Amino acid sequence: MLAIPLIAGTGFELIRFMARHRYNPIVKIALLPVLGTQKFTTREPTDDMLEVAICAFNSARQGEEETAGAAA
């Protein structure tokens, strides 16, 4: 538990370093797995995914309105 701030701080500084030196060939090679993972995990949503997200949002909004109405 005590190591979490140390790990997070080290990761943050590493990201800053790589951002400042992103044109360095060694940094480019080090960034390949990170960029590959980002490309893999950040695809455009399908229509089905968007439909589920909209339904979930509308349901949550309706629940908030009902809660606000009951509190008043």
Q: How far is Cα of residue 50 from the mean position of the Cα atoms in its chain?
A: 17
Q: What is the dihedral of CA 56, 47, 41, 15, to 10 degrees?
A: -70
pTM for the model: 0.47
Q: Quick one: average pLDDT of 1-24?
A: 92
CA–CA distance, 72 with 38 (Å, rounded to integer): 45
Domain residue spans in the chain? Answer: 1-41, 44-72
Q: Which residues neighbour 62 within 8 Å (Cβ) at sequence distance 6 or greater? A: none
- pLDDT tens readout for residues 41-70: 888 999 999 999 999 999 999 988 888 777
- pLDDT tens readout for residues 8-18: 999 999 989 99
